[in-house]
Structures are given as structure tokens and as C-alpha cells.
Structure 1
């Protein structure tokens, strides 16, 4: 038993807990290109120091390092089979930070999982997404490499699509298109280039469906989504173009 190695190992573990972990975070924060990489680097560095300290303590008690490594190899192999999901998520977390398909604050949509919201945090095993209803969803990092990710914040601009029904009346259809175009051109969020598109898309059962395509800043998309829909309805009402209800025509054959 070597007292120095035992004391050194214990001191390393304690100092890592109290001081070194925070110091590593400060150093990485200065040079790391992203916050996610900073915290992941701190986690890996701290884990290494803990393991090294524990190894020194064990060695100080007279155990052979080579025997420990052999035993550790078998233990690691057994753990790897039992914790494949954890390891997969950890590796995915590292690639997630390095590749950067998403960042904290991005609005993302996982197609197969059906999860949509803002990225709140990215850790070594999972990513937390704040859903539109305010709930927090913890998504295993491996899902981001198995699913199709739509990053709605990555582009600078994003297209806004709105559909509105107007009566089967040619003059009212023309009026509606003119009114909507004017509303889009007067909106403070809708971009002038590309120019907004307003056109008849389909003929519904009870209404002519007009489609509006407008480009807006990605960060203002949701705010613009609410504002544009209300503005379109307000301007149509002012112009005397009512949005029709679904109607059913019933024909009664009295002879039968």
C-alpha cells in the first residue's frame, strides 16, 4: 500500500469536484466554438479525472493496474452489451455537437416521432425540446440520426402558407385576391422579394380555395403566421367578402 498514491487519488477526486471541473468549464468557454461542445468537453474531462483518481487510489492499495485493466475490459464488454442504448445515445450526442444539425434555440421537427418545438438543451445522452404547448420532451440523441430532422430555424427565411375559402362568385374571388395581395404587401414581416403569391388553388365543395404563399424571416415565422391569418380575415370582412360555411343542398323528390 502506497499512502502517497491513495492520498493523491483522493485529493484529485475532491479537487475535481470542488474546483477543477469549474475551471475546465471556464477554459473551454473561452475557446470552444459552441456552448454544447463546452459542456460536453467538461463532462468528458471531469469523468477522465475521476477515473484517474480512482485508479490511483486502487493502485495505492496494492492492486495491479494490469489486472485491473484486464478485469475492466471484461466488465466494460459486459456493460457495453447491457447498455447499448446508452452508448448509442452518447456517441450520437458527440456527433450531434460536432456536426451541428441543430443548435440551442432552433425550432425543429422530427417527422417520424411527430415532435415539434424549440431546442432547449443538448446533453451527452439526450436533447430537451420545449413543445409548442410548453411541455418539455426529452429525446434520446440517437433519434436525431434515425429520424428525419427538419430544422426550421437554419434558413434565414421561411415560406408561410395560408388557405382561405371564398364564395363561388367571380367578382368576389377577384376582390379577395386583390385584397389579400394588398394585405401581404403592407405587412411589415412579409418580404417583397420573393414576391407573395396569391392564386386559386382548388374548387372545394362550398368555396373557392385561395392559397397564399409568402416569405418571412424564420425567427418571426410564428408571429407572422398569427398576424397574417387575422389580417386576411379582417380585410376580407371589410371588403364584403364573407368566408362561406360548408353547405349541403338537399333535393326532395315529392313524386317518389
Structure 2
């Protein structure tokens, strides 16, 4: 009996010591990746789980059988796990986001069609302040399983414009005007270089596509300023940007005067 008590105490002592070491290592690992509060709570949960295993093993050495208790706890855990499946799914997804740093507070992202700045990454939800001022809460599981665009992690962002030019205008002149605007603009990157080309010959106009690259934080300002400069420069140069037009042809000559008389116009 004394031997069993000695083994019981030894298992407890060694188990607690190992649990403490694992907890400290896990806490150090998480502290570099998530907030201190989350790292502390997770490491504490791991520590208590290890202690429970140590106590069960130690009690088994002195003849105390906890099999029935463990089985009952296992069934209870299954029931609770099924009931909390959505919450747990979002929780583990949130922990993954925090560890991998897929998105961070302050970054501009687009998730599920909602674009804006990330204001909070919690264990359950990620909150985004959209460009029109709304705060949108997105479940973390949707971020893991869906498509997320992170504009802040990009080295450069491409902006595209489509301009309709009348067919009678000189395409080379239009090209020179647009190229001068892009060459002089401070937000347009030299590498990758801008691109200007005719992308479509439509019914009422030829479509000119302009593609430029800018630093991601300046993309919004560059879009506004470039649109204004291009519209102003083309207007000053007399370049027509046509509206949709439809030509109607009659098979026989249309007598407008006779038609007017028939309708009682005198």
C-alpha cells in the first residue's frame, strides 16, 4: 500500500511539473501570435486538461477506477459539442485567424461582398467598418471557408477605367492625352507600367481601357483624382465622350409635313 501511495505522489509531482512546463511553452508560443488575454486563457485551459489526465492516471495506480465517470463525461461532452458546434467552429476559426494573422485590425479587406477596414478580430466574429460607415460582423468560420481579399497586404493595387470615345476622334491624340496625365500623376507607379488600349468597338463609341497601379492606401484618392483629370483634359482638348445613340432608317421617304397635316395640325 505504501508503494502505491509513493507511486501516486510521484506521478502527481512529475505530472504537475510537466504540465507547468508545457503551459509556459504554450503561453510563450501564443503570446507572439495572439493577444495576451487569449494566450493566457488557452494556456490555462491546456494546463487544467493536463492536470485532469494526471489525476486520473495517478488515481488509477491506487485502485480507484474512474472509467464510469470518464464515459459519462465523454457522453456529456459529445452532447455539449453538438449543441455548441456553430460557436466552437467560429471559435477555432478565430484562433486560426489570430495565429496565422490572415487579417489584422486596420487592414482594408473584402469579405462576402463587404469591403472596409477591420476594426476588431475576436474569437467569434470579425468586425468591418465599411466605406459607407456601417459596422458589419462576419462569423470567423465564413472567413475561413470563403474568399477574403486583403488589399493592405498587396504591394500595389490595380485600378481600371473604361472611357467611351466617339469614332470620329483621333485615337492617337486620346492616347497621348491620357499618357501625359498618367506620367505626371504622383500616385501612379512606374513599375508595373500603366496600360492604355482600345478594348472594344461598341455601337456608339470605341472603348478605351486605362489600367494603372498605385500603392494600396492611395487607391481611393487616385481613382477620384484620375477620373477628374481625364475628364477635364479630354473636354479641354475637344474630345467627345458620346452618349448612346440609335440611328433610325425608313425604307420610304418620310414626308414630315404630310404626316403633320394628317394628324390635324392644319
Same fold (TM over 0.5): yes
How far, CA to CA, are the matches of 2:41 and 2:153 in structure 1?
A: 27
Query: How does 1:10-49 map onto structure 2 within 5 Å?
Result: 32-33=31-32, 36-41=34-39, 44=42
CA RMSD, Structure 1 to Structure 2 (Å): 2.8
The match for 2:78 is: 77
The match for 1:98 is: 99
The match for 2:11 is: none
CA 222–42 in structure 1, closer or farther in 2 if over 3 Å, else same: farther
CA contact (8 A) 1:130 1:137 kept: yes
Residue 230 of structure 1: SS of its match in structure 2?
helix
Bigger RCO (CA 8 Å, 6+ sep) = 1
Task: Give the TM-score of the pair, scaled to structure 1.
Answer: 0.73
Task: Give the TM-score of the pair, scaled to structure 2.
Answer: 0.70
How far, CA to CA, are the matches of 2:100 and 2:158 in structure 1?
A: 26
CA 68–135 in structure 1, closer or farther in 2 if over 3 Å, else same: farther
How far, CA to CA, are the matches of 2:206 and 2:152 in structure 1?
A: 33
TM-aligned CA deviation for residue 33 of structure 1: 4.1
Query: How does 1:186-201 map onto structure 2 within 5 Å?
Result: 186-201=184-199
CA contact (8 A) 1:37 1:98 kept: no
Aligned length: 211
The match for 1:156 is: 155
Gaps of at least 5 residues in structure 2 are: 1-26, 50-65, 255-266
- Please list the CA deviations of residues 91-119 of structure 1 after superposition, one character each: whole Å capped at 9, or x if unmatched: 00111111122111222123xx3222221
The match for 1:180 is: 178
- Please list the CA deviations of residues 143-178 of structure 1 after superposition, one character each: whole Å capped at 9, or x if unmatched: 11111112111112111111111110252x222111
CA contact (8 A) 1:160 1:225 kept: yes
How far, CA to CA, are the matches of 1:244 and 1:39 in structure 2?
A: 60
Query: How does 1:103-118 map onto structure 2 within 5 Å?
Result: 103-110=104-111, 113-118=112-117
CA contact (8 A) 1:40 1:123 kept: no
- Please list the CA deviations of residues 116-159 of structure 1 after superposition, one character each: whole Å capped at 9, or x if unmatched: 22211100001001122111111000011111112111112111
**Structure with greater Cα Rg:** 2
